[in-house]
Amino acid sequence: MDAINQSSQGSSLGYTEPGLTRGRVVTAQGVGPPTGIEDKGYDTEEKRDLSPSNQSYQAAWEDADSPIQNSTFESFPANATVGNITIAPSDLGNFTEAGNSSHFNTSLPGNLVLTGNVTSIGFNQSQESNSTDSPDLTSSLLSELPHDGMKKSDLFLGFLPDDGAAGGTRQTMAQLNSAVGSKAAVYGWYAQAHSGVPFDGSQLLYVIDDVKACNCVFQPAVMPIGGWQGLTSEDNSQAVAIANVMKKFTDEGIPVWLRFAHEVNYYQTDGTYQGTAADFKAGWAAVSDAIKKIAPSVKMWWTPNVSSAEDYARYEPDDMSTVDLVGIDYYPKKLTGSDFLDVMKDFHDKYAVDGRKFAIGETGLGWSGSLNDKVNWFNQICDAKASMPHFLSMAWFNFDKEYDYKLAGEPTLNQKFTSLIAT
């Protein structure tokens, strides 16, 4: 794959927050929890530089021997036929269905599930259709997750691999999967959409081969940097550009859950994102509309930063029917035993309704804890599935940055993680 075209996206932000008290949200009144948050000891999420550095990881991907440069799809052993539709291995790369078809829902061996709007074939190929039937969102989301993907307590699991931009070692998902002997079900990554610069998705497209080899759900976080130009009802050009990039993934049969403007309620306080909640809502509406028209199989995923119920309500999209998934990004500063449920349960119960599901786009410890601390937090999250029935998946922030967040990717960690998901 060609090297990233930096000129099209601008230079990497490389932004940090000097002077920010770790684990606290910056508010208009200074450093501290947002108004209305009771300090229960877990603190609000610590913030990190979430921006992959174009310069830092470009060289890592130019290695022709990299696992990602030689990735292939798994073989599909036999033809499958539904009615008059026959799907052979050669069809998997570009399977299509005629538009305006009658709605059907048929399950076959080999993880083949066909619906009027969504198809999951072995590696969870997403299919877009012109069917006017309303899709069953729950079935659609579940069908996109790999049946053989990493799980614990019936919760699908995955990672945000280290991009190598902040001092850690560059990881691919292929390397992580090999290290732990299991296949990640979800794959998180970051990209910046700079205001006034048409989004070309180069940061995301740079990992497309690794995503394809993963056979998992891709969870890109697209960050609107520097303003909301092209993300309004009057000018939706940037929204269209984002949707066109997402379509490049779905055209390859990759399911996509898009975290647009993740953690907006935090990033508008530190200057990473500009404007107000109203700007975000207009941007969300523009992107969701463009996605619906250009890449309708993409799921829109609203993921604010951990905060108060009032803050979530202030930033919830105006039309919640455009939201397919919800979740909260959260990095606790210490553990008391019920931290995850204390923070997540009310949000889950309020917003994971009407077919919407709940998922964690990124998490880890908010301090330099021990491996046992990481394991305890990981287990808390997985155990919460029993109390949060609409909880589908979790992605671990597997970075080495201001301290080591990793839970996999090193021999000692790999052994522990392998035993962790086996129980």
pLDDT, position 124: 42
pLDDT, position 21: 27
- Distance CA(304)–CA(311), nearest Å, equals 9
pLDDT, position 138: 79
Amino acid at 401: K
pLDDT, position 139: 82
Q: Which two tokens stand for residue 204?
A: 């995301």
CB of 369 closer than 8 Å to CB of 402: no
pLDDT tens, the chain, 423 aa long: 222 222 333 333 332 222 222 232 333 333 233 333 333 333 334 444 333 333 333 333 334 344 334 433 333 333 333 333 333 333 333 333 333 333 323 333 343 333 333 333 333 433 343 333 335 787 889 999 999 999 999 999 999 999 999 899 999 999 999 999 999 999 999 999 999 999 999 999 999 999 999 999 999 999 999 999 999 999 999 999 999 999 999 999 999 999 999 999 999 999 999 999 999 999 999 999 999 999 999 999 999 999 999 999 999 999 999 999 999 999 999 999 999 999 999 999 999 999 999 999 999 999 999 999 999 999 999 999 999 999 999 999 999 999 999 999 999 999 999 999 997
106-108 β-sheet, strand order:
106-108, 112-114, 119-121
pLDDT, position 418: 95
pLDDT, position 220: 99
CB of 31 closer than 8 Å to CB of 184: no
- Distance CA(299)–CA(280), nearest Å, equals 18
Q: Domains, the chain, ranges and CATH?
A: 6-71+148-422 (3.20.20.80), 80-135 (no CATH)
Backbone angles phi, psi at 74, to 5 degrees: -70, 150
Amino acid at 131: S
Q: Which of 45, 97, 128, 263 is catalytic?
A: 263
Residue 310 falls in the annotated catalytic set: no
The residue ranges of DSSP E strands in 64-216, in sequence order, are 80-82, 85-87, 106-108, 112-114, 119-121, 151-152, 155-161, 186-194
pLDDT, position 5: 29
Residue 62 falls in the annotated catalytic set: no
CB of 183 closer than 8 Å to CB of 215: yes
Q: Which two tokens stand for residue 140?
A: 């659609």
